């Protein structure tokens, strides 16, 4: 039987929506998997507030009748739910295929529980490039000279005025790469999310949802 990736995304998203409880402040990620989460969450008719990581997510959430609040003024989220481009066996994520990883990382870092929802094509034996980046326009050429493996993405500026790019070099050691990218002035955020950030990964797989806790 052919695997339907979209069904797997919907199944993972629906399982995540079931984790949300009355009164929670919920971080909403960005992407096609989160697009399944939003109607599933709205259908639960809970009294919740949401923080959106992109204008697209905010528009979809509002269209489904969810209450969306500005992030400023909200200190801590109860739960945040988001997709990923890759999940490795330790629980490292690559995110930012949709260009929203800077806001997604801020939200993931400000929540009690970060739930990752993916289809069965996202878990990988080893991470591979590209790793999305958001760069400052100021000093852009300096960053590009320092990182020859980085290519600018043909994409509009982010809502925060950043330039989207992708790193195409070696990703075999995500701890080291993550630290080096984070230490480069001009790189606003990179798409490597450490295992310690994630509470659980829900993987839609062939009609079922597997729950994987990152080993760290």
Residues binding ligand 5RP (CB under 6 A):
29-33, 82-85, 95-101, 104
Min CB(22)–ligand 5RP separation in Å = 26
Count of CB atoms situated within 10 Å of the CB of 3: 13
Closest to ligand 5RP by CB, 32 vs 78, is: 32
| CA torsion angle 122 43 22 33 (round to 10) | 10
Closest to ligand 5RP by CB, 96 vs 162, is: 96
Catalytic residue among 8, 58, 104, 134: 104
Min CB(54)–ligand 5RP separation in Å = 7
Min CB(83)–ligand 5RP separation in Å = 3
Min CB(86)–ligand 5RP separation in Å = 9
DSSP H helical ranges for the chain: 5-17, 34-42, 55-63, 101-108, 140-146, 174-182
Closest to ligand 5RP by CB, 91 vs 99, is: 99
Beta bridge partners of 79: 26, 113
Q: Using an 8 Å Cβ cutoff, are 117 and 82 in contact?
A: yes
Q: What is the DSSP track for 162-190?
A: PEEEEE-S--S-HHHHHHHHHTSTTEEEE
Closest to ligand 5RP by CB, 101 vs 190, is: 101
For the question of residue 104 being annotated catalytic, the response is yes
123 DSSP 8-state letter: B
CA distance 141 to 108: 30
* Residues annotated as catalytic (active site), given as ranges: 104
């Amino acid at each position: 039987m052919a695997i339907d990736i979209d069904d797997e995304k919907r199944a993972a998203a629906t399982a995540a929506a079931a984790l949300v409880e009355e009164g929670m402040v919920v971080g909403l990620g960005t992407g096609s998997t989160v697009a399944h989460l939003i109607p599933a969450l709205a259908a639960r008719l809970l009294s919740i507030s949401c923080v959106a990581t992109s204008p697209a997510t905010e528009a979809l959430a509002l269209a489904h009748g969810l209450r969306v609040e500005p992030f400023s003024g909200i200190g801590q989220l109860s739960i945040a739910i988001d997709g990923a481009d890759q999940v490795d066996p330790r629980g490292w994520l690559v995110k930012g295929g949709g260009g929203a990883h800077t806001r997604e990382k801020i939200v993931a870092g400000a929540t009690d529980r970060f739930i990752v929802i993916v289809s069965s094509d996202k878990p990988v034996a080893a991470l591979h490039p590209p790793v999305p980046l958001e760069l400052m326009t100021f000093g852009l050429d300096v960053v590009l000279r320092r990182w020859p493996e980085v290519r600018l993405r043909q994409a509009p500026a982010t809502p925060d005025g950043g330039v989207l790019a992708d790193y195409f070099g070696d990703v075999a050691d995500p701890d080291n790469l993550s630290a080096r990218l984070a230490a480069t002035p001009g790189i606003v955020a990179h798409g490597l999310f450490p295992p310690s950030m994630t509470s659980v990964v829900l993987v839609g797989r062939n009609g079922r949802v597997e729950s994987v806790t990152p080993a760290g």
